Amino acid sequence: MAFLDSFDISGYGLSAQRVRVNTISSNIANAQTTRTAEGGPYRRQEVVFKAVDFNSVYNQALERSTNQLGYSDPLKEGLSGLKPNPAIMSVIVDKIVRDDQAPNMKYDPSHLDADTKGYVAYPNINPVIEMADLVEATRSYQANVAAFESAKNIASGAISILQA
């Protein structure tokens, strides 16, 4: 594992959890939204993560940058020598999916978005579940910050040893 890989892995985790917190916040903020630009009530969104081989992401970026510089590998060895075993895993946001469950129907004939029978379609969002997800995402974010800080302290200690 390269010296700075732990910083990158924590950074990917921080970025992924930030997207998750923003998505959950959007769900909470729109829990009562009955009309959207798409038509109908707001649809709950959920973040899907994907585990990636950190080294393959690094090697692909390195290959792109060397190709842009016009570098060619004279021995045709490729970057296979840079991949340690086992692979270092990281996480990225794969996609944000929309929950297509049926909306909650509430009887309110005076509402502007009521149908002909007097029912209004509200988003199928449970604030308790969203808050639990938000706490979990926040804790995961804090764990990534702690891992980043630990890596920083280790690096700082190594540098101070080298300077001595």
Instruction: Specify the pLDDT at position 16.
Output: 94
Instruction: Count Cα atoms within 13 angstroms, Cβ side, for 59.
Output: 14
What are the φ/ψ torsions at residue 96 (nearest 5 degrees)? -115, 120
pLDDT along the chain (164 residues), means of 10: 77 93 96 92 94 67 61 53 58 92 94 94 95 97 95 90 84
Instruction: Specify the pLDDT at position 164.
Output: 73
Domain range annotation of the chain: 5-31+45-98+125-163
Q: Work out the angle at residue 23's Cα, subtended by the Cα atoms of residues 19 and 24, and round it to the nearest 5 degrees.
A: 120
